[in-house]
Every structure is written in C-alpha cells, then in structure tokens.
A and B are shown apart, each in its own frame.
Chain A
C-alpha cells in the first residue's frame, strides 16, 4: 500500500436497521468524532479502529442506504461519494453490514457495490438471532458466489469481531484479493448507450458506475454545471427510461439473489412473529394512540421528577462558581464579565442538560425497541393533513426538550417540503427553556386550587403545551398551502421486530444529542450573554457612575434601607444602561401588550434564550444574585402599576406575557440551526417573523380583552 495506515479510510455501509451503528460503536468505542461531510449537513461519524498489530485505521459510519437509487438527502450523499472515486471521502475499503435474517433485502446493495468495483468485506451481522431462529448460513458458499470475503458475527454481543479485524489486516497486506467480486447485473443495451453519453463528459471505466451516474445526472455534484445540461438532454434524446431501468435492474438482481439465499441459508419458517401479536394492540386504531399518549405522559413525568435535583445542583454550582470568580478576580469589569456574562450564559445552557438528557435517553430506548417506527406509522395520516410526515413526530417530541436536536433529526424526512415545514413549526412546541418562564407567570393567571383532583396550575401548564402543539399544526397547515411541493412524499417504513434495547447505542446516541445541544446552543447563548452583559453594564457617558452616589445619599436620608442599597443600585444601573434605554425605546411598541419597560427588557434579553427572562427579572427587581423563582414571584406580585394603581402583574398582563412566550421565536440558536439545515437565510427570517408576529397578536388580543 502506498498509503500510511493512519490515512486508510474504511467505510461502514449497509441498510438502515442492519446493526451498522452498533458494529461501529463496538469497533471504535468512544474514539468517535462527529464532523460534517463537505458541503452538506450530514453527520460524518469517524472513529479509530485498532488492529491486532496495534496500528490504527479510520472507520467512517455512512448513513444507512437501501440501494444506489436514494430517497433522502442522507442517502444521496452516500451515492454521491460512491459515484466519485476521486472524492476525499471515497473509502479504500467497504465493510458491508447485512442482517443475516434479511439477507435477501440486504444483498441488493451489496451486489451493487460489488458491481461498482468497490473492495468489500461482507459482514453477516446478527448471527446470534439467526442461530436462535435456526437459520444456518453457509459463509463459504456465500463468499464463493459473491467473490468477496464473508464474516459472520454479532455486533450486539460483540461476538466474532476478531474475524472481521483479521480480514481487514489481510486486506491491508494483500489488497488485490478483495477487488474481484462477481458481477451480478448485466447492463442492457439501453444502459450501455447511457454509459456512452456519460463518457462524453467523464472518464469512467466502470460501466455500472457510468449507468448510476446517468440515473442521477440531475443532481450529482461531481458533474460540472456546464456538463449537466447537455448530459441530461443527451440522455433524454436516447430515451433513457430512468425509473424503468432502475426497476428492471432491481428485479434482475433479486432474480439472482433469491435463489442464492435459498442455497446458502436454510431456515425454519414456522416461527410466528411475536411482534405481530404485540402490534395487534400497540398499533390498534383506538388503543395504539392511547398507549402512545400514556407513554408520553410517563416520559414527561420522568423528565420533571428526575431532573429536579440535578438541575438544582447545576444552578447551585454556577452560583458558587460566580462567587468564586468574584473572589479570584479583582472587583471590576473582568470579574463582572466572568460572573455575569460568561458564567451566567454557561449556566443557562448547562441547567437544561438533565431534562434534555432524560428525554433523549427515553426516546432512544423507544427507538431501539422498534416502537418509534410504529408511532410514525400511526400518526402519518394525521400529520400529513398539516403538511408534515409521520417521521416529523420524532422532531415534535424532541423539541419539547430543545428544538435544536429536533430540527437536526428531520434529516430522515425525504420530502423537502415536509422536512422544511417540520423545521419551521417545530419551535412552537414548548421547550425546556420556556418552563421556568411558565412557572413564574402561571401563578398570576390561575388561582391555586384544584378541579376534579387536577391542580389548576398543572392544567394551565398543559394548556400552554397544547397551545404550542396546535400552533405548530396550524402553522404547518398554512405552510402546506403556500410552499411549493418538493418532490414525491414517502412513508414506506420498515416495522422491524421488537428487540431489547442495546444500551451502548442508547447511551452513545443520547451523549451525541446532548453534545449537539451544548455546542450549538452553547456557543450562541454564550455570545449573546456577553453582548447583553455589555449592553447592561455600560451606558452613555457617566450615567451609570452617577447611580451609586445618588442611591447612597438616599440611604443616608433613610429613604432606602441600607441592606437594600446594593440591590437598588444594580436595578437603577440597569435602567440607566444601554439595554435600559433600548427597553424604554421599545416600550411604546410593547405598551399595547401591557408591558412596561422592565418587561420589555426581559422580552428583549430573552432573545438570547427564553430562560434569561428570569435572570433579567431578578436584576430588574433588584434581587441581586438571589435567583430564587419564588422570591422573584413575590417581588413581581408586589409591583404596582403606576397608571392604574392596581397590580402590575394582573391577569391580563401575565396572560399576555405567557402567550408571547408560547409563540415567539426567541432563540437565536434555533434560528442558526434552521439557517444551517435549510442552507439559506430566507427560512430563519420567515420563521422569526411569523412566530413573533403571532406572539405579538396573541398577546395583544389577550391583554386588550382581559384588561
């Protein structure tokens, strides 16, 4: 080999549900890194695999793929790479992972890769299950028929992994032994004509690859723009029947694969699937959705009860760190920046980790069990009426923790329009950052007490959640009428048999989602926190410097108790700062919603992230560092409206604020992710505008009706 071993790239390719990711996790452990493939937002998972002689090679986990005729953007990426051996991502060796219980289906892509001339090791995974089901695979016969090495193993139980690594070592020492797979598909004369067309623009020796390029000439980026148009026209001119040719090829492959599987694998077909019986209840017309809602109820109950103490612990540690940094740095702007800017921002991110972790852990279990694909099946019909896809349900549930990983999970939706609508409406679902705001405000709107054993406040909370869900569905319906259709929409989803969860997968997956949140949300919240701190710490001229002497003289006069002096100074300084000035400037716009300048500031600062509302309120009401929700509430409760003489936080104002927080797009991090996933500024701008407009109107209506 000309290459250094550390430069060797080995790809894991296989169908979805082939156990590919499990094998990846077993082979690489935690030595994984997530990057992006160039130019696209598809996660590229890379890990190091250590071979027997201690050397390491790079292992890349490719997105799951059924055939070289892809449906989703993730799948297209794999085909793009397979079509372009010159690409940096083009693998030196493919480890093809197949489920030995689904050999027929999984051999399709394997034969296509062999026809593409890729060096391959064929892995017959899930050997444990096939043994249990009495299926016996003749590895040698399969290897002889495919012309590539075949390894049987169980990634789940980490059994027989060494036979795979020894094959990899074998390939490194003798690569030529791996490139002579047997060709399955014989190109038709029409196919060969299409190859000629392709060769006018590209040098491609492999006939089959030329045919695949012909199929995808509309979108493959390896074609230069100037070549694409004449090639597509040339293919049209020879009547290259795209779909027909794909269907014919697939049928021809299966006509080879079917008898092959019968020869290499003997199995006993009599076992009635337990999953089918379970699904009689779990996907039942009536019980199915009821069971789903019961599970969701449990999930949310778990999120709130289990996250309580770790959240308190995280909050306390950040308070402690703030105090610590104040004692380390000399009093001045550095200490303020660290404590009020950086640490406050980080605290605001970390405090949500427990809730997000618990949600993704539980969803991960449901996904591993195989339950989520049933949920997709059950809700597809309903969600489609609102411009969404059954697969959107995963995003909608995820966004109750955080919209960022939720938006990223929409990549599995193949139809662009449905995916876009899912991205656009997902942030309406009440996320963890809205909870603290709801907690403080709900008490002003509903009295304590209960009805039929349900706590009024609990019911109000549920109402706010439902409002978010309805808003998402309604907005989806509106977008459905407006946005141009983006190609064919699919459901077509496998309903794999129920399996006990593989904990390693659940844990690694949860860990990745949480890291995504920390990195994506963290960097922007941190930036905005520092900006807000700047705006709140400085004012025009010496206006801030004048606050302290003025307050101190009031203290001497006895107008302000001396133990309150520091807090009053903090509040007055904020009023005189740039952010205070901005708050007062926008007050006229916010007045119709019932907000004074203090609330306007809180609404403004919430655009960093919603929960900042609480911190801002604490500063505005001169609570110093005591960020205790109950004490903020007491202060707000006592606040008097100078105009009416009544309570400042009357029902109308609090309701107006609540509705504003339900609907408004107040999360810069989400907008940044929307921008990245839609690759345009257009959609985040629309998202921000329409959500905030709905929020303003709803708040306006509520305030005007109830005041």
Chain B
C-alpha cells in the first residue's frame, strides 16, 4: 500500500489516513478549529451528489469540506 504523503483530495474514499499538516491558507485556522489537527485519523467517506465537496470523518467527528479546501491538508495513508 502506498504510504507516501498526499493531499486529502487525492486520498481514495474509505482509506484511513493520518493528518501530517495543514498548510498556510486563509482558512487554515478554521480547519484546525474543526479538529483537523496533526496526527488525527482522517478518511473521506464520499463525494457530494454534485461533486466538489467531500464528506470527511476526522477523529470521531464528521465534517464537509470542498475539494479545494481539502487540498491544504496533507495526509499519510495508514497501513494496517
């Protein structure tokens, strides 16, 4: 399994990953406050019906993000 770091928008659906970092952007703080923190478990459950948005599980919470918002999140897939 590929364990190289990639941005969240590239992560396959249903694959567990760990957050590495959130890059600087005007919404970086909001992402952090929504629980997108380094070392937290993250996975993408599905895309929205009209595309462009992702249904994301972070830790034990669920949030919706746009694809471009998810590009500022770097993750590493977790191999079990």
Contacts and interface: CB of A to CB of B under 8 A. Distances in A.
A623 to B, nearest CB: 49
Contact of A275 (B25, B31, B33, B62): B62
A279 B55 contact: yes
B65 interface: yes
A246 interface: yes
A465 interface: no
A490 interface: yes
A477 to B, nearest CB: 15
B57 A250 contact: no
A258 B40 CA distance: 11
A377 B53 contact: yes
Interface stretch (A187-195, A380-388, A627-635): A380-388
B49 A276 contact: no
A243 B28 contact: yes
B33 A247 contact: no
A494 B53 CA distance: 13
B14 to A, nearest CB: 12
A542 B33 CA distance: 72
A496 B63 CA distance: 8
A279 B51 CA distance: 16
Say which size band chain B's interface belongs to.
20 to 34
Contacts of B24: 243-244, 247
A444 interface: no
B52 interface: yes
Contacts of B46: 283-285
B29 A247 contact: yes
Interface in B20-41: 22, 24-35, 37-38
Given A283-B48, A380-B53, A495 B64 contact: yes
A494 B63 contact: yes
A491 B33 contact: no
A105 B22 contact: no
The SS class assigned to the B binding surface is: mixed
B49 A288 contact: yes
A289 B51 CA distance: 13
Contacts of B31: 492
A495 B37 contact: no
A488 B27 contact: yes
A130 interface: no
Contacts of A494: 34, 61-63
Interface string B56-79: 010011111110010000000000
B52 to A, nearest CB: 3
Nearest to A249: B29
A706 B1 CA distance: 67
B63 A250 contact: no
Given A273-B60, A275-B62, A380-B53, A491 B69 contact: yes
A105 B33 contact: yes
Given A247-B22, A377-B48, A490-B69, A495 B30 contact: no
B6 interface: no
Interface string A235-250: 0000000011011001
Given A275-B62, A492-B63, A492-B65, A286 B29 contact: no
Contacts of B57: 276
Contacts of A284: 46, 49
A369 B45 CA distance: 21
Given A491-B64, A494-B34, A69 B29 contact: yes
A250 to B, nearest CB: 4
Interface string A485-519: 00110111111110000000000000000000000
The SS class assigned to the A binding surface is: helix
A488 B64 contact: no
Contacts of A269: 60
A105 B49 contact: no
A250 B33 contact: yes
A104 interface: yes
Contacts of A247: 22, 24, 28-29, 32
A377 B50 contact: no
Contacts of A488: 26-27
A382 to B, nearest CB: 4
Nearest to B47: A285
Interface string A378-415: 11111010000010000000000000000000000000
B50 A376 contact: no
Interface centre among A258, A289, A384, A492 (most CB of B within 10 A): A492
A390 B30 CA distance: 17
B55 A373 contact: no
Interface in A186-227: none
Interface string A533-574: 000000000000000000000000000000000000000000
A505 to B, nearest CB: 21
A382 B55 contact: no
Nearest to A244: B24
Contacts of B34: 66, 105, 492, 494
A71 interface: yes
A380 B31 CA distance: 18
Interface string A46-88: 0000000000000000000011010100000000000000000
18 contacts: A71-B27, A243-B24, A243-B26, A246-B28, A246-B29, A250-B32, A279-B62, A283-B55, A285-B49, A380-B50, A381-B49, A382-B50, A384-B52, A390-B64, A488-B27, A492-B30, A492-B63, A495-B62
Given A71-B27, A254-B32, A493-B63, 12 more contacts: A102-B61, A105-B33, A105-B61, A250-B29, A269-B60, A275-B62, A276-B62, A279-B55, A285-B48, A378-B48, A378-B53, A488-B26
Interface of A: 66-67, 69, 71, 102, 104-105, 108-109, 243-244, 246-247, 250-251, 254, 258, 269, 273, 275-276, 279, 283-286, 288-289, 373, 376-382, 384, 390, 487-488, 490-497
